[in-house]
């Protein structure tokens, strides 16, 4: 039962690594499974998949500096972003991170399905981000031991709510950008293989507007980030000042 | 120019275990996994994913090398050998760890037990 799953995990590894070590990994897995190593082999396989893709993304993102709504790599960059998010949420929600990594790996390993999986991945990723946000990820700078003691501050609570709403809007824009790729699903289901000009224009318009709308949201998020830190700092200073007065 | 073994330190635990597993003889991937488990009395096990990720790094760093050797049991297996550089790096890492343990023992032992 585990063997086909492990073979799929190996298949999802980056091509260069898979070609060099895939067959050997499978041989080692088969022996280890026979010797009763159990489910830990699958966990190890998923972790290996994550590490290999993170390494791959790290290397390729340094080589690829082009970025822009009309650039050919825009959705690719969005996809990379999803796996970067996955690496951050791993601590808080390993299952969710695993889903992201698997989706990313599928999109990269089957070129024929690349565009359609790309669309499906981003619709799923965006929906999941909207519906189920990881608590640790969304806390931002406020989630410190000191912040926990100050969480009753009404200004801070308000900032937190606003931040949550803004981030949800941001993910919604990501969803819009993803929808632009849905045309490829139609291709996969037997639609026209050639993308006509109209589809290209629609896609470009949606992606561009999502990207442009995301900029003010990012700016606002950064401002809120700073405001939250200032609120915290004021409270910390007040506490320290009160403490020093008490000591005096 | 001969590479300085200290420039490879500190080694990740998995990398050190792999180098030690290859110290005695050439082994294939599963052979390394078994040897690591045996040497650590089953307290430390590395899966194929972790193993090959480390083998990739160690081969790239010339600490180990692939050996041309045919395996009659499973043709997919490849054998790996510790290089002289790998041996020096492993010995340097052991020296480094010994030094840490020696200092740690000195700090942690109660004063009346310490040797004068």
**Which of A23, A32, A49 minimises the CB distance to B30?**
A32
- B69-102 pLDDT, tens digit each: 887 888 899 999 999 999 999 999 999 999 999 9
Q: Which token pair is B24?
A: 């005695």
pLDDT band at A215 (very low <50, low <70, confident <90, very high): low
Q: Provide the number of CB pairs (under 8 Å) joining chain A to chain B.
A: 64
CB contact under 8 A, B49 and A49: yes
| DSSP annotation string for B43-94 | S----HHHHHHHHHHHHHTTSEEEE----SS-TT--EEEE-HHHHHHHHHHH
Q: Output the CA angle B67-B69-B70, nearest 5 degrees.
A: 150
Residue with tokens 């990501």, as numbered in its chain: A174
The pairing of beta strand B64-67 with beta strand B27-28: unpaired
Q: What is the pLDDT of residue A185?
A: 42
CB contact under 8 A, A27 and B53: no
DSSP alpha helices (H): ranges in A180-247?
A: 183-188, 197-247
Task: Inform me whether the pLDDT recorded for A155 exceeds 70.
Answer: no
Q: Which chain A residues touch B51 with a CB distance below 8 Å?
A: 28
- B42-76 pLDDT, tens digit each: 999 999 999 999 999 999 999 999 998 887 888 89
Mutate which of B36, B42, B49 to test chain A, going by most A C-beta atoms within 10 A?
B49
- A19-62 pLDDT, tens digit each: 999 999 999 999 999 998 888 899 899 888 888 877 776 555 44
Question: Which contacts of A10-14 are long-range, i.e. CB under 8 A and separated by 24 or more positions?
Answer: A10/A45, A11/A109, A12/A49, A12/A102, A12/A105, A12/A106, A12/A109, A13/A48, A13/A49, A13/A52, A13/A105, A14/A52, A14/A53, A14/A56, A14/A108
**Which of B45, B46, B52 minimises the CB distance to A24?**
B52
Closest Cα of chain B to A48: distance in Å?
5
């Amino acid at each position: 039962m585990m063997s086909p799953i492990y073979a799929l995990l190996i298949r999802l590894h980056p091509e260069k690594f898979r070609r060099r070590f895939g067959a050997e990994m499978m041989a080692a897995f088969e022996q280890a499974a026979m010797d009763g190593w159990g489910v830990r082999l699958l966990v190890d396989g998923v972790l290996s998949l994550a590490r290999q893709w993170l390494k791959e993304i790290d290397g390729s993102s340094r080589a690829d500096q082009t970025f822009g709504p009309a650039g050919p790599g825009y959705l690719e960059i969005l996809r990379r972003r999803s796996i970067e998010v996955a690496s951050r949420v791993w601590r808080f929600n390993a299952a969710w991170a695993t889903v992201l990594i698997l989706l990313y790996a599928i999109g990269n390993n089957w070129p024929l399905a690349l565009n359609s999986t790309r669309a499906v991945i981003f619709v799923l990723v965006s929906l999941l981000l909207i519906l189920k946000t990881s608590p640790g990820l969304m806390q931002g700078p406020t989630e410190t031991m000191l912040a926990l003691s100050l969480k009753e501050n009404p200004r801070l609570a308000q900032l937190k709510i606003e931040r949550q709403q803004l981030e949800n809007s941001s993910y919604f824009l990501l969803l819009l950008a993803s929808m632009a790729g849905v045309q490829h699903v139609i291709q996969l289901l037997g639609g026209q293989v050639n993308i006509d000009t109209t589809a290209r224009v629609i896609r470009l318009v949606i992606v561009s507007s999502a990207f442009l709308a995301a900029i003010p949201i990012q700016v606002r998020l950064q401002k809120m980030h700073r405001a939250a830190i200032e609120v915290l700092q004021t409270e910390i200073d007040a506490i320290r000042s009160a403490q020093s007065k008490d000591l005096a | 120019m001969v590479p300085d073994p200290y420039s490879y330190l500190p080694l990740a635990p998995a990398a050190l275990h792999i180098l030690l597993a290859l110290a005695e003889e050439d082994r294939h991937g599963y052979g390394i996994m078994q040897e690591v488990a045996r040497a650590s009395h089953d307290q430390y096990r590395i899966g194929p994913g972790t193993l090959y990720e480390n083998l990739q790094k160690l081969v790239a760093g010339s600490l180990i090398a692939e050996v041309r050797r045919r395996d009659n049991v499973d043709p997919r297996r490849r054998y790996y050998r510790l290089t002289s550089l790998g041996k020096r790096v492993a010995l340097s890492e052991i020296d480094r760890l010994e030094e840490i343990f020696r200092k740690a023992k000195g700090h942690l032992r109660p004063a009346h037990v310490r040797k004068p």
